[in-house]
Amino acid sequence: MALLGKVTATTFALARPCCVFDGHAEASDTVWLAVAFANASGTFRNPPSRADVPPYKQLPTARSYMTLETAAAAYSCRAASAPVLRVGSDTACGEQGREDPCNGPLPSPGPYRVKFLLMGCRGPKAETRWSEPILLRTAVSPSTIEPVPARRGSAVVVIASILASLGAVLATAVLGALGAKVWSSLCHQGLGTDSFIRRSYRTHHIPPGLPLPLPPGGGCSPPGLCCSAPQPPAPCQRIMEQFGLDGTIKGPPRFNTPVTGRATFQ
């Protein structure tokens, strides 16, 4: 079969079949490649001997020829040769006076069919089936090639301009967002430690300050300062007010008997 991507205007490549003739070939046998136009493959006749092999120069009239004579050992399972054959690669095949079977360029796109033929000293011994039609590429005339590309319509130009503008705006927005993110991360890295220490600083080891005593008379502080509320007397002071300095009670405690019958101390 023809390999994809290996077809030109005058040549094509084939995958060499392996292990096809192992049960029929001997050391002295050879394998030929028969090439014929697709519409002439049905009338092709195997030559009885090597002397009757149709040469390349008879292709325009005989519509077929044989080429690429190779030892049968190259098609065995143990062969290590390249598995690709190129048909039509010998550009010197059309020289005057050359009678040997050669592998010249194919004269037309075809299509062509090929098969492999095993021949011994007494003639053909085995063969493969004809391949599927192989069509070569057709060259384009230089006069049909436009040297200047066709002009685009105004609508295409407008659409292309809009798409280009949108692409530029999108790229600018993405770059701006990335720049802002990078700048923010750099600022946090430079100021994050000091700010954290200052915000979290606490004077736990310093006790709170005691209130200052009021000036005599319980007046206010000098102008511009806040007034201080009078502090309630301490418990010891209340006791000493009730008892004199000599330990006598200034006055008996008074008891009030409410309506409920309970006594309260004032």
pLDDT digits (tens, 9 = 90+) for 95-119: 655 667 788 899 999 899 999 999 9
pLDDT given at position 102: 87
Residue 232 forms part of a structural domain? no
Specify the pTM: 0.52
Does residue 150 or residue 52 have the better pLDDT? 52
Classify residue 154: in a domain, yes or no. no
Q: What is the 3-state secondary structure (H, E, C) of 146-201?
A: CCCCCCCCHHHHHHHHHHHHHHHHHHHHHHHHHHHHHHHHHHHHHHHHHHHHHHCC
CATH number, domain containing residue 20: 2.60.40.10
Q: How many CB atoms lie within 10 A of CB 1?
A: 11
Quickly state the pLDDT bin for 133 (edges 50, 70, 90): very high
- Return the pLDDT at 240: 56
Q: What is the pLDDT of residue 149?
A: 59
Q: What is the pLDDT of residue 92?
A: 83
- Residue 56 domain-assigned? yes
Is 241 domain-assigned?
A: no
Domain-embedded: residue 185 = no
Percent of the chain's residues with pLDDT above 90? 19
Query: Does a structural domain hold residue 216?
Result: no
Q: How confident is the model at residue 34 (pLDDT cuts 50, 70, 90)?
A: very high
pLDDT for residue 146 is more than 50: yes
Contact (Cβ atoms closer than 8 angstroms) between residue 53 and residue 32: yes
Average pLDDT rounded to a whole number, residues 68-79: 85
Structural domain count of the chain = 1
Amino acid 32: pLDDT: 93
Q: Which domain holds residue 96?
A: 2-140
* Residue 45 domain flag: yes
pLDDT tier for residue 74 given thresholds of 50, 70 and 90:
confident
Q: 22 or 148: whose pLDDT is higher?
A: 22
Whether residue 261 lies inside any domain: the answer is no
Cα–Cα distance measured from residue 93 to residue 96, given in angstroms and rounded to the nearest whole number: 9
